[in-house]
Chains A and B, each alone.
Chain A
Amino acid sequence: MTYSSTLEPGSNADLYERRYQRERRARLEAERLLELKARELDRARNLAEAALNTLQDAIDSLDEGFLLLDKDEVILLVNQRYRELYPEIADIAVPGTPFVTLIEAVVAAGIIVDPPPDADFVQHRLDRMRQADGPWEQRLANGRILLINEHPTAQGGYVSLHTDVTSLRHGEMQARWLGAAMEAAIDGMVVADAEGKITYANRAMAEMLGLQSGAQLIGLSSRDFYAPDELARYDQEIRKDIKINGQWRGEARALRVTGEPFVTEVSLSRLDDGGIVATIRDVTERNQALEQRTRLQEQLFRAQKMDAIGKLAGGIAHDFNNILTSMLGYASFLVEDLNEGSELQGFAKQIVTSGNRATKLVQQILAFSRQNDEQAETVPIARAVDETADMLRSTLAKTIDLIIDQGTRDAFITGDATQLSQVLMNLCVNARDAIGDGGGTIRIETGTVEGRSVVDEHGAPQETRSPDPGAAPAVLVHVDNDGSSIAWIGALRTDRRYVRIAVSDNGSGMPPEVLSRIFDPFFTTKPIGSGTGLGLSAVHGIVTAHSGALRVESRPGYGTRFELYFPAVEPGQTAGAEGDRFVEGRGAQETVLVVDDEVDVGGMTSLALKRLGFRVDHRISGIEALAAVRAAPQRYAAIITDQIMPQMTGLELTKTLRNEGFDRPIIVCTGYAEAIDEELVATNGGDYLLFKPVRPRTLGETLRALLDARSSP
């Protein structure tokens, strides 16, 4: 660069002037540069302030408390979150505060409970930050739990981050509690994802399925443990319910890993992620117990009903019997006193006939209510069936075949032969009525069978406890798909052998709703006046009284089959306490003449006497009896005659025979207490008066006593 000067060139003045000019230029340049620098500095400061503000905004937006310390451990930056976490020291948590001052304030304020704020706390806290020994947790007095993470900075300072993990730790704790609770639960619990894959299963669920651990179920499909038809129900119904209502509750049949089905009570709830949480309870045993309880309640109800009806009917029957006795007594007086063959005598006889029918009705009621004194003895079933069949044949139409199929003749029960005959008669009369006029077959079969096989093969109710002899067993009805229905009364013991008597017909059969009621007293399907509705009620009572059971199977249009089961005994043996009674008054093959105009009553009496070891001839009128005695006076060791009979009463017969020299015992039976008495019987030559109904035992004992007295010297 050149410049002009007025000074002498090369002189000191000139040199200094030149130097001054250079310095001046330099100073001007410096001023220019400094101004530029100042502007740059302003820009830089603005940028720095903006950056600092941005940084402060950034750290203020953190969820963590943030503290930046310089190398002297003095606060450079601190965010709002930090002050929120430690509100007690917020006023000093500002840039410029030494960290140690902050810690001392924390201790003084009692903010921290763990680690314990002991005498060394401040030093330990500083050491911990300087060592930056990894994240650690701090528990505050207000219950918060903070996770603290501290690192040194490149400038020798420290960054301290404080994260509130209270919710996380509580959540973890709750998750642990929840997990423990779910594992300890009695019910099975399963969580499945939206695809149905099991993501959690508890121990109870695993054990329910036959596994050891819920982990074994992870990844499997919950569909693997339900029967195919249940899966179809799930797809068609349950899934829709869950979609609409968010939950479903019900029962479903599940499968154990062995394939064994079992019933579960399931509660399903939809989760937000589309998964399902399920609570599952094995209710197999509960349902069985419920069914058992329901059945027992039904049985109890039935028994109570039958018992109540029985008591009511029995009471009425007894009273009714007395009334009948009176009515028939006076009616018999009319028959005796009115002119023979007159219209009025005919009316009186009709009263007697109707009264007799009413008496039989009363007997049925008493049989149902089990208020008759059954005569316990060892009864050979084959003979009882034969004798009943003999009586039946005379009453059945020729269009009905009666087939007797005796599987054995060595079957015996303990009981009352008369009542057994009554049962068979009632069943056969019903069979006859079911067959009707079109003709058909009645089949009576006998045999013995083990209780176990009946229970196993026919599903008979099993006697699990000692039956209450006073309670009537329930009627259990099962309906098959083909329309046939089966009813059971009573229960069988699996350790006992039974005599089975089956009466079957190919008549009209019964629908289930009829079958379920046939043992109810006074229930009948027969036309009014044709049936009493007491026949099968009596069967019910008698079978029950004999500790037996009864099975009925019927199908409309195909017929009905009754099977009676009585405990089998050896000859001379009784079945149990209920039948353990010694029977006296047995016969010695003496022949007895029974005189009764009512065939079935006379037949019953004859049957009873035969059971007791007597030979019996039966005549249905006094005239026939008189003829029989006259034909063979020595044949009869005794005569048992009914009082009320057409043409000749029992007393008239007695008197006539005595007049003709018959000196053997004569017993007069009457159902009408007021008609005759012992004195009148004795006056007419009779030895004894018995009132109907005459119990076989009483009859046997009386007859035996009279015969023995007659034969003794």
Chain B
Amino acid sequence: MKGMVLRGLVEHMESAFGLDVADKVLLEADLPSGGAYTTVGVYDHAEVLEIVTHLSRHTGVDGAVLVDSFGEFLFAMLVDAHPEFLEDQDDLFTFLEGIEDIIHVNVRRLYPEAELPRFACARKGDDQLLMHYRSHRPFAGLVPGLIRGASRHFGEVVDIGHEPLPPADGTRARFTLTRRSG
């Protein structure tokens, strides 16, 4: 996993729960990287799971909630790092529909070693979008936060339905996005 994501998770943990919690989590998790992440590095995605597990234990906050909030934080961080990905994008659904053909194409050009999840979108009317997630990693839980971060970027409000798909281990899921009018 890209170091940018892990670095974002540590920053999010520090800002949300303080340096001491972050320090304890990183000490207890006994991570192979020692919690020292650089955006240009690549790390085992299991470190994400270890950090979230220990963070949940220290804070008493559900791990799913932690991941969801991290997703929203991560989107903002990605926009800061690569604002060009959102140029010429007018609305949320169009942006999400173009993840595979526009964003991932450019990500692979920048990071050829990146292992990216697959998104398949289908419109159901003007205000609803079905989105299938598929990945080698169990991070379906990150998706609603990312979508929320994106909807905030475009100034839209959407209801997000999350339906895990077999084997329900976070590697496959279906999301139903319904644009809230007004």
Contact = CB atoms under 8 A, between A and B. Distances in A.
A34 B34 contact: no
Nearest to A2: B27
Contacts of B23: 15, 18-19
Nearest to A30: B38
Interface residues of B, number: 18
Given A15-B20, A22-B34, A25-B34, A34 B26 contact: no
A16 B19 contact: yes
A22 B35 CA distance: 7
A23 interface: yes
A527 interface: no
A219 to B, nearest CB: 59
B36 interface: yes
A22 B41 CA distance: 14
A37 interface: yes
A29 B7 CA distance: 13
Interface in A34-60: 34, 37
A30 B19 contact: no
A543 B23 CA distance: 153
B40 interface: yes
A417 B148 CA distance: 148
Interface string A13-35: 00110110011111101100110
Nearest to A31: B38
B37 interface: yes
Nearest to B34: A1
B155 to A, nearest CB: 31
Nearest to A29: B38
A40 B114 CA distance: 16
A10 interface: yes
Nearest to A37: B40
A24 B30 CA distance: 18
B130 to A, nearest CB: 28
B70 to A, nearest CB: 19
Contact of B38 (A2, A12, A18, A27): A27
A26 B19 contact: no
Contacts of B34: 1, 22, 25
Contact of A15 (B7, B19, B36): B19
Interface string B17-58: 001101100110011001111111100000000000000000
Nearest to A27: B38
A29 B3 CA distance: 11
A25 B20 contact: no
Interface of A: 1-2, 10, 12, 15-16, 18-19, 22-27, 29-30, 33-34, 37
B20 A26 contact: no
Contacts of B38: 26-27, 29-30, 33
A17 to B, nearest CB: 10
24 contacts: A1-B30, A1-B34, A2-B27, A10-B20, A12-B19, A15-B19, A15-B20, A16-B19, A19-B14, A19-B19, A19-B23, A22-B34, A22-B36, A25-B36, A26-B37, A26-B38, A27-B38, A30-B39, A30-B40, A30-B41, A33-B40, A33-B41, A34-B40, A37-B40
Interface of B: 7, 14, 19-20, 22-23, 26-27, 30-31, 34-41
A577 B40 CA distance: 133
Main secondary structure of the interface of A (DSSP, over half): helix
A33 B40 CA distance: 7
A37 B42 CA distance: 12
B19 A23 contact: no
Contacts of A37: 40
Which of A16, A23, A25, A34 is packed against the most chain B CB atoms within 10 Å? Answer: A25
Contacts of B39: 30
A22 B10 CA distance: 11
A702 B7 CA distance: 165
Contacts of B27: 2
A23 B36 contact: yes
A2 to B, nearest CB: 8
A155 to B, nearest CB: 11
A24 B34 CA distance: 12
Which of A10, A27, A30 is packed against the most chain B CB atoms within 10 Å? Answer: A30
A110 B9 CA distance: 66
Contacts of A15: 19-20, 23
Contacts of A34: 40
**9 pairs of A and B residues whose beta carbons are closest in the complex:** A30-B38, A1-B34, A25-B36, A26-B36, A22-B36, A15-B19, A26-B38, A33-B40, A29-B38
A29 B20 contact: no
A25 B19 CA distance: 17
B81 to A, nearest CB: 15
A18 B26 CA distance: 11
Contacts of B35: 1, 22
A10 B27 CA distance: 12
A667 B19 CA distance: 184
A19 B7 CA distance: 12
Nearest to B31: A1
A29 B41 CA distance: 8
Which of A1, A23, A26, A37 is packed against the most chain B CB atoms within 10 Å? Answer: A26
Contacts of A25: 34, 36
Contacts of B20: 10, 15
A42 to B, nearest CB: 16
A10 B41 CA distance: 29
Nearest to A34: B40
Given A15-B19, A16-B19, A22 B26 contact: yes
Contacts of A22: 26, 34-36
A29 B14 CA distance: 21
Contacts of A27: 38
Nearest to A23: B36
Contacts of B7: 26
B20 to A, nearest CB: 6
A2 B30 CA distance: 9
